[in-house]
Amino acid sequence: MGKVCEICGKGPKFGQTLSHSHKASKKKWNPNLQRVKAQTKSGVKQIWVCTRCIRSGKVVKVV
C-alpha cells in the first residue's frame, strides 16, 4: 500500500530538520490517511483517504 490519498493524490513530503547547530537530517512527513468505506464508481470499497478530503466532503461514506 502506497501512502497516497486515492482522491486527491496527496503523498509524503520530504525535507530536512535543522538542529540548533544547523546540522541537517533527512525527514519525511506522511499525510494523515484514514481507511474508510466509501461509495465509488465501481461500488462500495475501502480506500485510503486523507482527512482533508473527508472533511471537505469529497468522499461519500457508507454506513
pTM confidence score? 0.79
For residues 31 and 3, what is the distance between their CA atoms, to the nearest angstrom? 8
Instruction: Supply the range of the domain harboring residue 41.
Output: 1-63
Q: Tell me what the mean pLDDT of segment 54-60 comes to.
A: 95
Q: Which residue has the cell 461500488?
A: 43
Radius of gyration for the chain, computed over Cα atoms and rounded to the nearest angstrom: 16
Average pLDDT over residues 38-43: 93
CATH number at residue 38: 2.30.170.40
Mean pLDDT of the chain: 94
Q: What integer pLDDT is reported at residue 24 of this predicted model? A: 98
Tell me the pLDDT tens digit for each residue of 9-34: 999 999 999 999 999 999 999 999 99
Domain count for the chain: 1
Percent of the chain predicted with pLDDT > 90: 92
